[in-house]
Amino acid sequence: MAQRRPALKPATTVFLDSSVLFTAVNSPIGGSAKLFTLSKIKLVTSPLVLAEVERNVRKKLQGYHRERFFKLAAGIKIVEQRPDDRLIQQAQKFIVEKDAVILAEAKNSKADFLVTLDKKHFLQESVKNFLSPQKVLAPKGLLEMAK
C-alpha cells in the first residue's frame, strides 16, 4: 500500500528550481503551473533562477510566453541573500558544478521544500541529505501533499 504524504502546513515555503518555473510558463495546465494556484504555499526563488528562466523563455518559446513568465514571476518572492562560497563548495560535493549555486541558494533560503523536475541532478538521495531538514521533490509530490 502506498504511503500517504503528510499534509502541507499553512505558510509552507517552496523554493522553485528553474525547471519548474520554465515548465509552468510553457504549460499552463501542468503540475508545475498548478503550484501557482495553491494558497497554502509561499513560492520563493533566486534572481539567478529568474534570469535563467527568462533567458530560456526568450530563446526557446513564443512572445506570449514572456507575458506569462512575468505574470508568474510577480507571484514569487525573490530571495536576495547570496550563499557564501563555502556553502557553494559544499553543494558541489553533491551536485554538478553548474547547479551547485542553485542548491546552495535553496539551502540558504530555509524554504521547507525545493521543488524541481531535474531527476538527474536534484532528485537524488545525496542532494536530499545535503538539504535536510528541507525536502526535495517534484511538483507532483507537493500537489499530493496539498490535497
Q: Which three cell numbers stand for residue 4?
A: 500517504
pLDDT tens, 70-126?
Answer: 999 999 999 987 888 999 999 999 999 999 999 999 999 999 999 999 999 999 999
Contact 144, 5 (CB under 8 A): yes
For the chain, domain boundaries: 12-141
Torsion sign across C-alpha atoms 140, 12, 40, 46: negative
pLDDT tens, 34-46?
Answer: 999 998 899 999 9
With vertex at residue 56, the alpha carbon angle to CA 99 and CA 65, rounded to the nearest 5 degrees, is 135
pTM: 0.93
Q: Which three cell numbers stand for residue 116?
A: 524541481
pLDDT tens, 1-55?
Answer: 455 567 777 789 999 999 999 999 999 999 999 999 998 899 999 999 999 999 9
CATH 3.40.50.1010 assigned to 12-141: yes
